[in-house]
Amino acid sequence: MKTNLKCSFCFLLASSVYSGFAQGFVNLDFNSANIPSGTSSSTFVSITDAIPGWTAYYGNNLQTAVLYDSLAIGSVNLAILDANVSFAGFLIPGNENTVVLQAGGGGPEEVSASISQTALIPSTANSILFEASLPYAAGWQVSIAGQNIPVTQISTINSNFGVYAGNISAFAGQVDNLEFTALSGAGPTVNLYLDSISFSPSPVPEPNSLGLFALGGLVMAYRQWRRIR
Q: Is residue 229 in a domain?
A: no
Q: Domain range holding 120?
A: 3-204
CA atoms within 13 A on the CB side of 92: 26
Tell me what pLDDT residue 186 has: 58
Q: Is residue 212 in a domain?
A: no
Q: Where does residue 13 fall: left (phi above 0), alpha (psi -120 to 50 degrees), or beta otherwise?
A: alpha
Q: Is residue 104 in a domain?
A: yes
DSSP secondary structure of 28-52:
TTSTT--PPTTPPTTEEEEHHHHST
| Widest distance between CA atoms in the chain | 62
Q: Is residue 225 in a domain?
A: no
Q: Is residue 217 in a domain?
A: no
Band of the pLDDT at 19, cuts 50, 70, 90?
very low
pTM for this prediction = 0.81
What are residue 65's phi and psi, to 5 degrees? -140, 155
Determine the average pLDDT of the residues in 120-127: 96
Percent of the residues in the chain that have a pLDDT greater than 70, as a whole number: 76
pLDDT (tens digit, 9 = 90+) per residue, 59-115?
999 999 999 999 998 889 999 999 888 876 788 999 999 999 999 887 667 899 999
Domain count across the chain: 1
Q: Is residue 67 in a domain?
A: yes
CATH of residue 163 = 2.60.120.260
Q: Is residue 227 in a domain?
A: no
Q: Is residue 223 in a domain?
A: no
Q: How far apart are CA 121 and CA 102, in angstroms?
A: 26
pLDDT (tens digit, 9 = 90+) per residue, 218-229?
434 333 433 444
